[in-house]
Amino acid sequence: MNRLPYYPQAKQASFDSSSLTTETTQMYEWDFPKAPQVYYTPLVWESIRYLVDTIATEVGWLGLVDIDDDGNYLVTEIFVPKQTVSGVETDITPEALVDLAVDLESKGISSEKLIYWGHSHVNMGVSPSMQDEVQVEEFLDNGCKYFIRGIYNKHGSSKVDVYDTAENCVHQCVRNGVQPTVLDDLLKTRLDDLIKTNVKKPVVKAFPKSKLGTTHKTVVTNTTPNSYYLDGYGSYIDDDEYADDLERQEILNNPFGFREH
């Protein structure tokens, strides 16, 4: 007979199953994944802004999306299907969506990448309407594992949400913007060389204490060949002023000019 290993010191489980009544409880705390970021290619972003800024009614569009290794999204191309619009609503029919998907597949583009829906709220805020919520649910019901909804207005505001059915969560108001430019290795090397050559910290040298106990420091700067000294009051003085300062100190220490024997 197999025996369970004996533990001299009992450990407390991370969940509680000691109830004596019929119930269903959660075993572990649900740890949601980190919120992704949504990027647009420069051409896609300029196209979105053009649609929002030039059309006086609501307008909607769909987009192809790539997912990188970090779980972030890049909208690579957008399409404006046939739709009926008004000042407060846009209606893209299921037939228009099917036509777009068929057209993409005929060009060798997977329609499964069509997981971004954006639309304009014209001059209104970017809070989603009830119809906006229903529309997203319909997209998810069609089998989308991930889906992105973006709402924009003429004032430059945006609300972008990412729906993750696998993790059963929605990331709301995620960071979004134009795809950042990636520096190549050659440019990084050139910048590193410039930093090493031209970016220097000031060199601070200690100066012996004066007879009054004031510590003077020589600060060699990159902007002037002259040396500057810091007096006891936090002020900088040049070489001539420092020589005068030493003479003044000598007079204060020996005001009557007595000589030491």
Sign of the alpha-carbon torsion through 97, 140, 39, 124: positive
Single out the residue in 178, 208, 243 at which a domain terminates.
Answer: 178
Both 151 and 204 in one domain: the answer is no
Both 126 and 208 in one domain: the answer is no
Locate 57 and state its tokens: 């009614």
Which of helix, strand or coil describes residue 23?
A: coil
Structural domain boundaries, residue 213: 200-253
Q: Kindly compute the dihedral angle of the four CA atoms of residues 245, 249, 251, 257, in this order, to the nearest 10 degrees.
A: -130
Both 85 and 206 in one domain: the answer is no
Both 54 and 174 in one domain: the answer is yes
- For the entire predicted model, the pTM comes to 0.65
Q: Would residue 261 count as lying in a domain?
A: no
Per residue in 169-179, pLDDT tens? 999 999 999 99
Per residue in 123-150, pLDDT tens? 999 999 999 999 999 889 888 889 999 9
Provide DSSP, 87-142.
SS-EE--HHHHHHHHHHHHHTT--GGGEEEEEEE-TTS-SPPPHHHHHHHHHHHHT
Both 159 and 242 in one domain: the answer is no
Both 166 and 215 in one domain: the answer is no
We report the CATH number of the domain holding residue 109 as 3.40.140.10
Both 204 and 170 in one domain: the answer is no
Q: How many domains does the chain have?
A: 2
Q: Would residue 98 count as lying in a domain?
A: yes
Per-residue pLDDT of the chain (261 residues; tens, 9 = 90+): 555 555 556 567 777 788 888 787 878 777 788 999 999 999 999 999 999 999 999 999 999 999 999 999 999 999 999 998 887 788 888 889 899 999 999 999 999 999 999 999 999 999 999 999 999 998 898 888 899 999 999 999 999 999 999 888 999 999 999 998 888 889 999 999 999 999 988 888 776 665 555 555 555 445 444 444 444 444 444 555 555 655 656 655 555 555 554
